Amino acid sequence: MTKFAFEVPLAHLEDFDQYQDLIFALSFLCEDPHYVKYIERNRKGRTLIIDNSYNELGIPDSSDEMARLFCELNADFVICPDSDSWNLEQLRNTYRKMISLVPREKVLVVVKSKEEGDMFFNEGAFYYCTTYEQRKKLPESVKNLCYHFLGLIDPWEIKRYSPISCDTSMPIKLALQGRTILDWIKDGCPHLKTTPDFFNLTLTKEQLKLALENTAWTHNNLTRVNYVP
């Protein structure tokens, strides 16, 4: 069973809380006291993963910052800083710095190629995650090993690979366009990238209603991996 975390605008954290199987906290949002208070108030035994915000900001937070947030929020996992522009040596050095600050078994590494997967394996990494941008290019063996899927490509991949967890904001972004999850599937599941401005939005009543319906559909169908296209 795959657990889902839904990234939502900060004004609507409580509206979507019932659908959050885990908390996937973006590091740059942890600068907002309202966001941190939500995490502390609503943790309720749920797994907490701290993400390095590379997808949203284009640059990851540092190992030092990720370790600080990991400790302050008593997180379960932290995603090691990564960048599409970094070579293997940069990724290796960053990982080594990360595990000098946080227990190795608490660090998730982002794998974007077979070469990166082999390097992290040789470094003794415990848990892997993979992004929506590179996932289709990865060998099946790597995708099957991934603990977490960063972003949702389509419903079928959840059934096919059954990751432990996945984060997505797709149900909400579709609602902003007046579209349902089924509309998205019929259109071939094009990806809608999340930008920092997304988290500052306040949805209309109609958008919120549709966003909750999209989120409920995703949660009820994909967490149980019973969707048949």
Residue 153 domain flag: yes
Instruction: Record the pTM.
Output: 0.94
Cα-Cα-Cα-Cα dihedral sign, residues 156, 159, 162, 168: positive
pLDDT value of residue 1: 84
128-132 mean pLDDT: 95
Q: How far apart are CA 26 and CA 100, in angstroms?
A: 22
Supply the pLDDT for residue 196. Answer: 85
pLDDT tens track for 34-82 = 999 999 999 989 999 999 999 999 999 999 999 999 999 999 999 999 9
Total domain count for the chain? Answer: 1
CA distance 105 to 103: 5
Rounded CA-CA distance 89/61 in Å is 18
Q: Which structural domain, as residue segments, surrounds residue 63?
A: 3-169
Kindly report the CATH number assigned to the domain that includes residue 18.
Answer: 3.20.20.70
Does residue 96 lie in a domain region? yes
Asked if the structure places residue 191 within a domain, the reply is no
Pick from 78, 10, 71, 16: nearest CA to 47:
78
The 10s digit of each residue's pLDDT in 99-128 is 999 999 999 999 999 999 999 999 999 999
